[in-house]
Amino acid sequence: MFLEGLDELDQQIVRLLIANARMSYSEIGQQVGISRVAVKARIRALEQRGIIEEYTTIINPQKISGAVSCYFEIETLPDSFAQVVSLLDQNETITQIYRVTGKNKLHVHAVAASSEEMEQLIAQVIDPLPGIVSCNCNIILSRIKDIKGLRL
Q: What is the pLDDT at residue 1?
A: 46
Q: What is the pLDDT of residues 129-144, one digit of tens each?
A: 999 999 999 998 888 8
Taking CA atoms, 78 is separated from 43, 96, 97, 112, in Å, by: 41, 21, 17, 29
Place 151 in a pLDDT band, splitting at 50, 70 and 90: low
Burial of 118 (0-12, 13-18, 19+ CB in 10 A): buried
**How confident is the model at residue 152, as a pLDDT?**
54
**% of the chain exceeding 70 in pLDDT:** 93
CA–CA separation, 16 and 27 (whole Å):
10
Largest distance between two CA atoms of the chain: 57
- pLDDT for 146 beyond 60: yes
Question: How much is the average pLDDT of 79-89?
Answer: 96
pLDDT tier at 46 (50, 70, 90 boundaries)? very high
In the chain the domains, ranked by start, together with CATH numbers, are: 8-48 (1.10.10.10), 61-140 (3.30.70.920)
Q: Note the pLDDT tens digit of each residue in 90-130.
A: 999 999 999 999 877 999 999 998 999 999 999 999 999 99
Beta bridge partners of 138: 71
